[in-house]
Amino acid sequence: MKKIKIDLIAINAGRNLAYFSGLHFHKSERPAVLLVGKGKAPAFIFPEFEHEKVANAAFDITQFAYTENPSTWGGAFKKALNYFNGHQSMIGVEPTAMRFLEINLLQCSSAEIRITSAAHIFNTLRTVKDNEEINSIRQAIEIAETALINTIPFIKVGITEQEIANELVVNLLRNGSEPELPFAPIVASGPNSANPHAISSSRKIREGDLILIDWGARKNEYISDITRTFALGSVDDELMTIYEIVKKANHAARRILPSNFISEKIDFAARNIIQKEGYGNFFIHRTGHGIGLEAHEEPYIAAENSTKIISGMTFTIEPGIYLPGKGGVRIEDDVVASNDKLITLTSLNRELIIL
């Protein structure tokens, strides 16, 4: 904070609040904000009926509770800023999480407050995982893989994408995933699989379809994110070809040399193979992204990203080829950087499985 000249950090409900304080608050119409500054215990602004939950904070905090009457909310924010003498403060926030609700309450407390991004602080502190965090990711992977194996027998001609996704959710929960999944499973079949972030639909599975399944589990708050592509019966020759290309690209990126432990070079390792095979224009997203408390976080494995990969970083490798109107293939694995290599944490078969 001192280095980038920020006086206070404001952390609202969500993953960062839990990570830094042990306080679990979901975003709702009631604000919950932790203020961190120099020389004093952090201040927490929250609904007064949550006193019992606040008692579980990981460290001493000064409490500023408000009632159910929204007219009292601004007073709690003003008192918290008075506590820090923070009426002329530069306040850093998480730019993708802080809402107008909280920013407005802060700014209405003092016309001299300035709000800026503190993304670098959050990203730096969370990017490198310790052994306990990595073990939780391993457990989330095991849960996800077992859930998919249990779901595969359910897949047949006439079943809808939504029905498969629902069955997968049930199996994720049965196998130990926490109820708040990292994201809703994606089941995309036939031409729908050419949409990288399709939404599971009412389309019925047909003979000759590729079926792309992107799913994950959560354990001890940490997540897994995996994709596998299956075939239902015999598929088009070109779809078989792009599957083998994607599999080769996935392998190349996971076997990157230590001298190339840079985000953009890992991306290039996968992208170069797809481009050489003539499908470069159909690989339309980055090669990967960090995983941890959230499904998308630093580091991002993308072209023109010079982030150095260091031990303890966990991320996905997920090249894909998407042919509009025909079908798509993605093979996604979770990896962790460890000294001079990438360790693949996922273990599911990467050969094309014909159902």
Cα(28)–Cα(35) distance, integer angstroms: 18
pLDDT given for residue 339 in this prediction: 86
CB-CB neighbours of 154 under 10 Å: 14
pLDDT given for residue 120 in this prediction: 87
Q: Per residue in 80-119, is it b (16+ CB within 10 Å) or e — as a string?
A: bbeebebeebbbbbbeebbeebbbebbbebbeebebeebe
pLDDT given for residue 86 in this prediction: 77
DSSP state of 138: H
pLDDT given for residue 57 in this prediction: 83
pLDDT tens, the chain, 355 aa long:
888 899 999 999 999 999 999 899 999 999 999 999 988 999 999 999 999 899 878 889 999 999 999 999 999 999 999 999 877 889 999 998 999 999 999 999 988 999 999 998 888 889 999 999 999 999 999 999 999 999 999 999 999 999 999 999 999 999 999 999 999 999 999 999 999 989 999 999 999 999 999 999 999 999 999 999 999 999 999 999 999 999 999 999 999 988 889 999 999 999 999 999 999 999 999 999 999 999 999 999 999 999 999 999 999 999 999 999 999 999 999 999 998 899 999 999 999 999 9
pLDDT given for residue 94 in this prediction: 93
Condensed to tens digits (0 to 9), the pLDDT of residues 271-310 reads 999 999 999 999 999 999 999 999 999 999 999 999 999 9
pLDDT given for residue 205 in this prediction: 97
DSSP-assigned states of every residue in 119-134: HHHHHHHHHB--HHHH
Condensed to tens digits (0 to 9), the pLDDT of residues 114-136 reads 999 999 888 888 999 999 999 99
Cα(100)–Cα(297) distance, integer angstroms: 22
If residue 115 lies in a helix (H) or strand (E), which one and from where to where?
Answer: strand 114-117
> Is 138 within 8 Å of 132 (Cβ atoms)?
no
Cα(244)–Cα(235) distance, integer angstroms: 13
Residue whose structure tokens are 């639909």: 201
Residues in the chain: 355
My answer on whether omega of the bond before 258 falls inside 30° of 0, hence cis, is no
pLDDT given for residue 87 in this prediction: 79
Q: How far is CA 14 from CA 42, 97, 317, in A?
A: 17, 8, 26
> Is 266 within 8 Å of 337 (Cβ atoms)?
no
Q: Which of 36, 30, 15, 130 is nearest to 80 (CA)?
A: 36
pLDDT given for residue 219 in this prediction: 98
> Is 42 within 8 Å of 125 (Cβ atoms)?
no
Alpha helices in the chain (DSSP H): 15-21, 51-54, 73-83, 100-109, 119-127, 131-151, 161-174, 237-254, 263-276
